[in-house]
Amino acid sequence: MKISDYIANFLEEKGIKHVFGIIGAGNAHIFDSIFSKGYTEIVCVHHEQAACMAMQTYYRLAGKVTAAVLTTGAGSTNATTGVVGAWADSIPGIVISGNENSKFIDLHKDVRMWGVQGYDSSLMVEKVTKYAGRVLQPKDISVELNKAWDIAIEGRPGPVWLDVPMNIQSSVIDEKDILPYEKPAAATPAPSLPEQVGSIVADLKAAKRPVLWLGHGIRLADAVDQIQPLLEQLGSPALVTWAGIDMVDSEHPLVYGRAGTYGQRCANFVVQNCDYLLCVGTRMAIPQIGYEITELARHAQIAVVDIDDHELAKYASRYKTTVVADAKDFITELLAQTKDIGADYSEWVATCNKYREDFPWVNPFDHPDKDGFINSYPFMEKLNAHLKDDQIIVTDMGTALLSGHQVLRLKKGQRLMTSTGLGEMGYGLPAAIGASFATNHGEVMCLNCDGGMMMNLQELQVMAHHNLPIKLFIFNNDGYLMIKNTQKALFNGRAAGTDQKSGVSCPDFSALADAFKFKSFRIRTWEDFDEVLPQVQAHNGPVICEVFTHPHQTFVPKLSLAIQKDGTLISPPLEDLSPFIPREQLKDIMLGGLHPKSAAIEA
C-alpha cells in the first residue's frame, strides 16, 4: 500500500468528511490519494492559516476532529497563526505537513534549510501543539497517525502536527509490515474527586453569595447538557466566559452575563460582590479576571476546576481550592452531591437582579450615536431581534468581537464563536467557512471589520467557489479602531498606521462584492437597518453587508486607567469600569465597601 493512500484511508476510518488545505509539491501525493479515494473532500483555501482556522470551527460545530493538509516550506510556516489559535482555545485538529525527501533531513540537519524548501517544521511548532512528530519510516505511519489522533482529543484537547516527507508519502509498503498501534489505557477520574467535590459542596452551603463561572471547558468535556440541571439544582447566580457564551440561554434568570475587562457592568458587580466563586472549565484569562488576581472577587473564596494543572498553578496562591478534573466528571459528581443542598440564595439572587435591572447591556450613557454614525452596541442589540433560532455566528476581532460579545443574546440552538485566546485579526471569514462546511454548507453569520477583512480577504473566493450562504457583515470604521483608541489614550490621539490619513486604507467592499458576484447592502442609518437587515437575513447565498460606524467610536464599558488631574494613573479593580459611574453609586453597590483605588478616582 502507498503511504499517502494509507493516510486517505485513515481519514475515512475516522469519519473525516472534510479537510482544509493547499496543494504543493510537498503534499501532492496526499492530495492525489485523498482525491482518488473520494470519501474526504479537500476544501482548497487560499492561505494555510485559513485552513487551520476553518479546522477549528469545523470541530466546534460538528464535534468532529478534522485536518489541515499543508505543503512544505512557506506552506507550513503560513499555518502557524491558525495552529496557535487552536492551541490557545483547546481545539483539537491534525495538521499533516509535507516535507523534503527524508535523506535531506539527515544530510542537512545542521544547516538552515533542508533540500529545496524544507526546514524543521515539527520543531517550530513543538511549543504550540500537544504533539509534533515526523514519519521517517513507512512502517510507522499507523502508530504516528493514531497516536497523534489520540493525543489531540485526550485530556485538554489541542492541535497536533505530523510531518510526512515526500518520499515517505510515495513509498509503497506491504500492509503486514505496518506496525500496529497499541492504544494506551484510558485515564480514570482521580479517586479523590468525590472528596474534593464534597469540600466544595460544604463551602457552597456555607456561602451567602456564591457565583458559578462557567467556561468553554464544559463544552469541550461534552457537559453542556448538565448546565441547566446544575443551575436549577443549586439556585446560584452564574456567569459565562466569552468562549462559553452559547452554552446556556442568555435570558436564563440565573445567568447574569459575561464579566471581564470588557465585561458588562452587571456581570462585574456580581463577581466582585460574591463571597464564594466556583470556576469550572475556564483558564482564568486576564481579559476575564482583570490585571490583578488579588483584586478578583476580593471578599470571596475561590475554587477552580480545570483539566490542566498548569492553569491551576498560575494563580494557586489566590485559590482556596483547586481540582484537576474533566469538567463533565466534576459536574456529574457535583450534581450527585447537591441533590439536597438545602441552601437558600434568594436574597443574593434579588441583589443580582437589581444589578441587571439598573445596568442594561446597552444604554445611551455608554453607547450614544455620534456625528451621524450608528453605534455598534445598539446595532448588536437590534440584531438580536433578527437572529434565527439556529443562527450560527462567528466574529473577527475589534468592533465585531467587543460589541458582539458584550451585547448579543444567545438562545438554545444558537452558536457564537471567535478566537478568544490568540485574538488574531483575519479569523472571521475562514472560521465562517469552516462552520458552513461543518453544517453541510449551512448558513453562517460572520461579523467582521474592515481591518480584519484585509487579513484573509482571499478567502472570499472559497465563499464564492462553493456558493456558501455566509452573511458577511463588515463594520467600516476606517481602519483599526481598537488601536486608534489606544493611540488616543497613549499619544494624545496621534495616529500612525491605523487609518487612511496615517497610512492604512481598505477597499470599497460593495465594489468588491460585485467582483465576486455577491449580493451587497450598506447600512448607515437606523432607517437603513430596518430596511436592510430583513433582506440580508432572507437572502439565500453569499451576501456582504457593510455597516458604517464612527471612526473613533469607543468600546465601553471597559477596564481602563484613570488619569487624574495631576497626571497620575490609577488602575481600578474589575467592578470599576469606564466611563466611571459616580463614586457614591459605586459605594452603594459594593457590599464590601469601595476599593481604595476607586475612592481615589476623580469621577
What CATH number does domain 3-177 carry, 3.10.180.10, 3.40.50.10890, 2.60.120.10, 3.40.50.970?
A: 3.40.50.970
What are the CA-CA distances from residue 150 to residues 20, 200, 286 (Å)? 20, 32, 30
Distance CA 409, CA 465 (A): 32
> Strand 93-99 vs strand 159-165: parallel, antiparallel, or unpaired?
parallel
Position 442 pLDDT exceeds 90? yes
CATH 3.40.50.1220 residue ranges for the chain: 193-358
Q: Using an 8 Å Cβ cutoff, are 209 and 276 in contact?
A: yes
Give the E-state strand segments of 75-188 in sequence order.
93-99, 131-134, 159-165
pLDDT, tens digit, for every residue of 218-275? 999 999 999 999 999 999 999 999 999 999 999 999 999 999 999 999 999 999 999 9
With CA atoms as reference, report the closest residue to 600 among 576, 300, 490, 359: 576
Q: Using an 8 Å Cβ cutoff, are 216 and 90 in contact?
A: yes
CATH 3.40.50.970 residue ranges for the chain: 3-177, 376-396+406-548
Three-class SS state of 20: strand
Position 189 pLDDT exceeds 70? no
- CB-neighbour burial class of residue 229 (10 A; exposed 0-12, middle 13-18, buried 19+): exposed
The conformation of residue 466, written as its DSSP 8-state character, comes to T
What CATH number does domain 376-396+406-548 carry, 1.10.260.40, 3.40.50.970, 3.40.630.10, 3.30.1330.10?
A: 3.40.50.970
Q: What is the mean pLDDT of the chain?
A: 96
What are the CA-CA distances from residue 431 to residues 56, 58, 86, 448, 462 (Å)? 7, 8, 12, 11, 12
pLDDT, tens digit, for every residue of 46-58? 999 999 999 999 9
For 391-436, the three-class secondary structure string (H helix, E strand, C coil) is CEEEECCCHHHHHHHHHCCCCCCCEEECCCCCCCCCCHHHHHHHHH
State which H helix or E strand residue 598 sits in.
helix 596-600
Cα angle value 312/285/434 (rounded, 5°): 110
Regarding pTM above 0.85, the answer is yes
- Quick one: pLDDT band at residue 19, thresholds 50, 70, 90? very high
Instruction: Provide the CATH number for the domain formed by 193-358 in this structure.
Output: 3.40.50.1220
Q: Using an 8 Å Cβ cutoff, are 213 and 239 in contact?
A: yes
What is the average per-residue pLDDT within 285-296?
A: 96
DSSP lists the bridge partners of residue 545 as 473, 521
Distance CA 253, CA 311 (A): 30
